[in-house]
Amino acid sequence: MQTRTIITGLLLTLISHLVLRAQGTPTANVGWYNGDCQSGIPGQSNWYFSDQEFGRTYDDFVVPSGGWTVTGLFSHNNMTFSGLSAAVWEIRSGISAGNGGTVVASGLSPATQTLMLTYPDGEKIYRVEVDGLRVQLAPGTYWMNVSPIAAFTQSYVCASVGVSAAGNPPGNDGKGFSYALGAPSHAIFQPVQSSGQAGTSGDYSQGVLISTAPAPPAPSIRAVVNAASWQAGPVSPGEIVTVGGTGLGPSTPSDLMLDDSGKVSTTLDGVQVLFNGIAAPQTYVSGVQINAVVPYEVAGATDLSVQVSAGGQTSQAFPLKLAGTAPAIFTANGTGAGPAAILNQDNSYNGPDNPAAKGSYVVLFVTGEGQTNPGGVTGKVTTVAAVPPLTPQPLLSPVTVLIGGQPAFVAFYGEAPDMVSGVMQINVQIPANVPSGNLPVSVSVGGSGTQSGVTVSVE
């Protein structure tokens, strides 16, 4: 599983032998633990830098009859940095050599970093843990991984020979797998073993935390709004919407991930959003809010509803109305009003303290532009074509912009490169004869207009 950030506001070798600080085996709510770190056996790459550069190590565990509610995952890593705030994690089923199987749940979530032990040469072992999950697993065999997000260096998950292991399998069954892209090598789910003077390990120090509490209430949807305007109304194919309610997902939020095909994942933190039963890409999940992309496949539907599936339970169907377009402009503060999320011609952020010159070009971002030509691909990250149209454009036209009440020249409109399909970029020229100040800006797509109260700053 891989990650990519979209618009803000719209848009890391164990060689020593003496442990100076006791590790301690996790006890509370441990469903499975592969065992303590074994000094004298090198660890395996376990870090995440980008969706094209990472090294991740997976270990297998077995869920017994009755199933589990997974509330957390952890790994013990040799790391040279502290201050970690987030990690990527996955639970998969069906992994075999060269085959990643199926992603059951995944996320990019806040993480804690706890120093567990220090070796004589100064190398440190940290426990990286993600909590607040709510992933329901049926009985069966799964693989898990927790990788710290490493911006400048790598980390290595400890080798284990099963000391203090808990659950099934009881440590070191030799079924670890490596998934790596980028330097120093590519390893697409290859079996891994590490050998050193203390022996050989085919497993690594990772674990699963579970809850024995009763299952939480089913998710409940209370509102669906445009993610840019925060206004309710008809939705269009490809529109990014915000679903509000209770019990929608885990208490620990998770951000956008890419699946193995490079599309934005439709399963995040074990949560799915279903429009007429079609799984939607998700860019954010928490217990009370989900941001999701309405699948393009709903185009032409006579009836439309949305449901949320989380923790093995599914919400009621929330009825929606479908429109060809339902555009809205992303704003800098994320409320749907005030200064738009606009880039000036020099790629700086537009605002009252950094207005755009009259006659210059600015870039704004919209969602709700509807089906595109070429046809929109649900969850695809937009790329630039070699020939026009450079990116897909709305099927319904025209696309027009008003600034200060005056028509503005639109130099480009189409799906925003490197963002999920459903975000449209518009390059527009500030009219030469508009007044200075914070001027209203609006967009029309196929005859439908954006929300009022959005501004662009002009010097």
DSSP one-letter string for 368-418: ---SEESPP-TTPBP---SSSSSS-EESS--EEEEETTEEE-EEEEEEPTT
Matching residue, tokens 């496949």: 297
Please report, for the domain that includes residue 386, its CATH number: 2.60.40.10
pLDDT at position 183 is: 62
Q: Are residues 135 and 191 in the same domain?
A: yes
77, 250, 312, 444 from 41: Cα distances, Å: 13, 36, 39, 63
- Residue 16: inside a domain: no
- Residue 90: inside a domain: yes
pLDDT at position 24 is: 37
- Helix, strand or coil, per DSSP, at residue 297: helix
- Residue 11: inside a domain: no
What's 94's DSSP letter? S
> How many of the other CB atoms lie within 10 Å of CB of 70?
27
CA angle 175, 176, 178 (to 5 degrees): 140
- Residue 1: inside a domain: no
Q: Are 359 and 430 in contact (CB under 8 A)?
A: yes
Nearest to 4 by CA among 52, 45, 46: 52
Total structural domains within the chain? 3
Nearest to 46 by CA among 38, 56, 37: 56
> Strands (DSSP E) along 192-285, which ranges?
194-196, 199-201, 203-204, 206-211, 220-226, 240-246, 254-255, 272-275, 278-279, 282-285
What's 214's DSSP letter? P
Q: Are residues 106 and 74 in the same domain?
A: yes
Distance CA 409, CA 393 (A): 17
pLDDT at position 53 is: 84
Structure tokens at 318: 């929330």
pLDDT at position 407 is: 98
The model carries a pTM of 0.79
Q: Are residues 165 and 227 in the same domain?
A: no
Distance CA 266, CA 137 (A): 17
* Of the residues 189, 211, 233, the one at which a domain ends: 211
Q: Are residues 161 and 304 in the same domain?
A: no
End-to-end CA distance of the chain: 45
pLDDT at position 217 is: 85
Q: Are residues 121 and 182 in the same domain?
A: yes
Domain holding 260, by residue range, is 220-320
Tens digit of each residue's pLDDT, the chain (459 residues):
232 233 333 342 222 222 222 333 343 489 999 999 998 899 999 999 877 789 999 999 999 999 999 999 999 999 988 889 889 999 999 999 999 999 898 888 889 999 999 988 888 999 999 998 888 899 999 999 999 988 767 799 999 999 999 999 987 788 999 999 876 567 789 999 989 888 888 899 999 999 877 777 889 999 999 999 999 999 999 999 999 999 999 888 888 888 878 899 998 888 999 999 999 999 999 999 999 999 999 999 999 999 999 877 899 999 999 999 999 999 999 999 999 999 999 999 999 999 999 999 999 999 999 999 999 999 999 999 999 999 999 999 999 999 999 999 999 999 999 999 999 999 999 999 999 999 999 999 999 999 999 999 999
Distance CA 388, CA 143 (A): 44
Q: Are residues 63 and 162 in the same domain?
A: yes
Structure tokens at 268: 């995040």
CA angle 137, 161, 87 (to 5 degrees): 50
Distance CA 148, CA 154 (A): 9
Q: Are 109 and 62 in contact (CB under 8 A)?
A: no
* Of the residues 300, 320, 340, the one at which a domain ends: 320
Q: For the residues of 142-161, what is the DSSP string, one character each?
A: EEEEEEEB-SSS--EEPEE-
* Of the residues 211, 244, 275, the one at which a domain ends: 211
